Each structure stands twice: as structure tokens, then as C-alpha cells.
Amino acid sequence: MTHRLRLWVESALRKIAEGKRPIVVLNNVAGKIIHHLWAVIASGKPYKPHLHLS
């Protein structure tokens, strides 16, 4: 499991434990993934996973 994926899973489990509905948490994780994808596409540069750890 990649570092980023592990962070997203931990964040999702934490939000569910806080009482958020799972579909809301899933939507938030999907938004984070789309944000990262769009940043790579918009920059026009190749993806470098070691530079994107947030």
C-alpha cells in the first residue's frame, strides 16, 4: 500500500469513527483523488509519486 493510500484509508476510518456516513467519506476520498489527478494533468508534467506525499 502506498503512503498516500494509507493516509486516505486512515483518514476515512477516522471520519467514520467520528460518525460521518460512509458515503460522505467515500465522496471526500474520491474528491482528493480527483484533485491529485487534475493537478498532474494541469501541470503537464509526468507524475512523480515521491514528490506528492500529502
Q: What's the angle, vertex CA 25, arms to CA 49 and CA 27, rounded to 5?
A: 75
Number of domains in the chain: 1
Question: Measured in whole angstroms, how far is the alpha carbon of residue 13 from the centre of its chain?
Answer: 13
Looking at residue 25, what is its pLDDT?
95
What torsion, rounded to 10 degrees, do the Cα atoms 52, 35, 5, 7 define? 80
pLDDT at 54 over 90: no
pLDDT in tens, 31-47: 988 998 898 899 998 87
The region of weakest confidence among 14-18, 39-43, 47-51 is 47-51
The region of weakest confidence among 1-10, 25-34, 39-48 is 1-10
Residue 39 C-alpha cell reads as: 493537478
Supply the Cα-derived Rg of the chain in whole angstroms. 13
Domain encompassing residue 10: 3-51
Looking at residue 33, what is its pLDDT?
87
Residue whose entry in the numeric block shows the C-alpha cell 471526500: 28
